[in-house]
Amino acid sequence: MIGRRRFLGTLLASGAAVVHPALHGAEPDATPERRTGRLLAGLERVEGVRAVKMLQNSYAQYLQYGLWDAIGALFADDGICQWDGVTVAGPRAIAAHMRRVIGGGADGISPGALHTQLLMMPVITLSPGGQHAHGRWHEVRMLSGQTAWAASLLTVSYIRSGQRWKIARLVSHPIFAGSYDEGWRNVVEDLPVVPYLISPQSAGRPASEAWAAPRPVADLAGVQGRLVRLAAEDAVCNLQNAYGYYLDRKMWDDIVDLFAADGSMSIDGVGQFKGAVNIRRALERDGPAGLRHGELNDHPQINMTVEVAPSGREARVRGLDLGMVGINGAEASWSLTTFDNRFVRRGDGVWTIAEMRLYPELKADYDRGWATDARLDRPVPRTIAAFPLHPATGAAIAYPAGLQPVAGAFDSHADDGLARPPDLDEAERMLARAAAVNAIETISSAIGNYLNDSLWYELSRLFAADGWRKSPSAGYYRGRDRIWQMQLTRNGPPRRPRTSLPLHLRLQPVIHVAEDGLTAKLRTRLLQFNSSFAREGSMTAGMYEDRAVLEDGIWRLSVDDIEHIWRAPSYAKGWARIEEGSGERLSRPPDHLLAAMPPDRPITGARFPSFPDIAPLSFHYRNPVSGRAPPHLLPD
């Protein structure tokens, strides 16, 4: 790991970004009217990408509680849902179908049942006119009944209806399924490659790149508030995801730092903990700070939706915490917790957590599974976090009798200052940073897609001209062609039949775009479901610390650095039965690659997953509230 930090330090200054003038500041000799037109059109496109993500993540949240009418209302009047070989058209028919097939004819999910969708890796592209969008998502479902696991690739078409977006067509392409006892297997012997509607160039092109007819400068009224809300979304998403990474490592000091001075943590069924001392006490219910040998405490943050108050000073993030915890050689368990957190912006512009509201949904022993060991006996009606207004209709959500929603306080007062026209230069910079966040998440998701499908050439074109990529246990390779040949040498061309699939899922991004909008730092989690047609699956987990650069107007990766943390030997053994020092035995040997194509830089630190040893983990950022440095801080 120390070698990794030194290596990244030597790379960050290498290679200059080639700036596309239309994306960074004003084009030469542009009139204020033309700049205004471009700003407004670009802002609408960036907001469109985020609205589509909000729409699809709301789908996953509604599915968790069986809100069938709310799911149906996400679809256009002639919208189509193709799922598990069945095609249904129209909001009412889609709701009725899900109510019958999943809900057993009733609204809601029956007590003790589970239907959870983990939605990950969005790749969203907009049409030139900005009225249509296409999405590519991966989903893994945790289910009660004979099928406990299922995974699909979702291809989704969206259409803009007035000021809102709706789903025009959703198609599920199944990947694997299986019972809890036996785990998952691929659904067919030869998994097809679903056609792409993106390219490496379009994946990293900022959605704000759009020319528009000149509009009056007066049209900038209200833009300030919209830009402030985009920046707020990015800040609170980073804060929520950073919390998840601190939780992984039981970094209690850093978690307490994230809260406002009068902040609180509420755990449904347990109580409320207010102030730093009591929040720390709540955290220590799970033990002292730090991980001991063989301890796993992974907590991916998934299915997040963000709502920013009209004032721009408060925000709300709702989502799902997937817990994978245990002690190697002793015990392991799954957990699901819905979070509904309120954030406030201090006078100095720093965002903090005002209220963390946690609603435990599931706790299950890894060996027994959730069908026989769901250890949360929830009363009926169940207390859940209330939903924001429906993203496609703007209406309040209707809840079935078995659910009791709790709405937290949220400031609904507008700030008149946000209606003032912004400084045009600063507005362009703010929009460029917001567009960069969208584009960087897209290329992060695209690299996962290309890895899944063994599309090595396309993967290599996501990198900058002198970009670097780490080949696990082998070393670092520089330049697109070297990366392409490295992947081909180590993995070979795509195979047919495609009987196995390492499903690389990159999620939980923490993205920091530089003030100049030319470079960025990215942290993402790897959650990998290894699946096969002939045998049970397994899991792998790791952490990416990447860098991105704006090159020729397109965001590309300048460094892609993976640190694998643990590999489960099999589904049956999971993370509770990993032998000491087995990281090397469970990893693919790099001998052929090292002989045929030595790396441009060797790995000087640990080469294989360390677990059950707890290796140091690097962060590219300090604590976003207190500025506390992590034990291993990557160089600036």
pTM of the model: 0.94
32-218 shares the fold of 2-23+423-602: yes
For 328-348, how does the pLDDT look when each residue is reduced to its tens digit (9 = 90+)? 999 999 999 999 999 999 999
Torsion-angle region of 492 (φ positive above 0: left; ψ -120 to 50: alpha; else: beta): left
487/472 Cα distance (integer angstroms): 11
Any idea which residue has 């049956």 for tokens?
Answer: 572
475/74 Cα distance (integer angstroms): 46
Give the pairing of strands 463-471 and 554-560: parallel
The H or E element spanning position 288 is: none
Q: What residues contact residue 519 under an 8 Å CB cut-off, 6+ apart?
A: 17, 513, 547, 548, 549, 550, 558
- CATH code assigned to 32-218: 3.10.450.50
3-state SS, one letter per residue, for 339-361 = EEEEEEECCCCCEEEEEEEEEEE
CATH architecture assignment, domain 220-419:
Roll (3.10)
In one-letter notation, the amino acid at residue 355 is: E
Q: Dig out the tokens for 473 from the structure.
A: 């246990």
DSSP character string of 605-621: S--S--TTS-----BSS
Q: Dig out the tokens for 248 from the structure.
A: 């992984």
Which pLDDT value is given to residue 376? 74
Q: Is the Cα dihedral 25, 31, 36, 41 positive or negative?
A: negative
Which pLDDT value is given to residue 211? 54
Domain ranges of the chain: 2-23+423-602, 32-218, 220-419
Which pLDDT value is given to residue 411? 79
Identify the burial level of 386 via C-beta atoms within 10 angstroms of its C-beta, where 0-12 means exposed, 13-18 middle and 19 or more buried: middle
CA-only gyration radius of the chain, Å: 24
458/450 Cα distance (integer angstroms): 7
Q: How far is CA 91 from CA 58, 69, 626, in A?
A: 15, 8, 47
The alpha carbon torsion through 440, 119, 159, 217 (nearest 10 deg) reads -40
Angle between helices 424-452 and 32-65 (to 10 degrees): 50
For 361-379, how does the pLDDT look when each residue is reduced to its tens digit (9 = 90+)? 999 999 999 988 877 777 8
3-state SS, one letter per residue, for 513-559 = ECCCCCEEEEEEEEEEEEEECCCCCEEEEEEEEEEEEEECCEEEEEE
CB atoms within 10 A of CB 502: 17
CB 326 within 8 A of CB 575: yes
One CATH from 3.10.450.50, 3.40.30.10, 2.40.50.140, 3.10.129.10 for 2-23+423-602:
3.10.450.50
In this structure, what are the phi and psi dihedrals at residue 541, rounded to the nearest 5 degrees?
-135, 150
625/409 Cα distance (integer angstroms): 22
Which pLDDT value is given to residue 126? 94
CB 138 within 8 A of CB 151: yes
Identify the burial level of 39 via C-beta atoms within 10 angstroms of its C-beta, where 0-12 means exposed, 13-18 middle and 19 or more buried: buried
Provide the CA 41 distance to its chain's centre, in angstroms.
26
Low-confidence ranges of the chain (pLDDT < 50): 1-3, 5-26
CB 567 within 8 A of CB 33: no
In one-letter notation, the amino acid at residue 251 is: M
What number of helices (H) and strands (E) belong to the chain? 13, 24
Which pLDDT value is given to residue 214? 60
For 424-460, how does the pLDDT look when each residue is reduced to its tens digit (9 = 90+)? 999 999 999 999 999 999 999 999 999 999 999 999 9
The H or E element spanning position 413 is: none
Q: Is the Cα dihedral 408, 409, 413, 418 positive or negative?
A: negative
Torsion-angle region of 531 (φ positive above 0: left; ψ -120 to 50: alpha; else: beta): beta
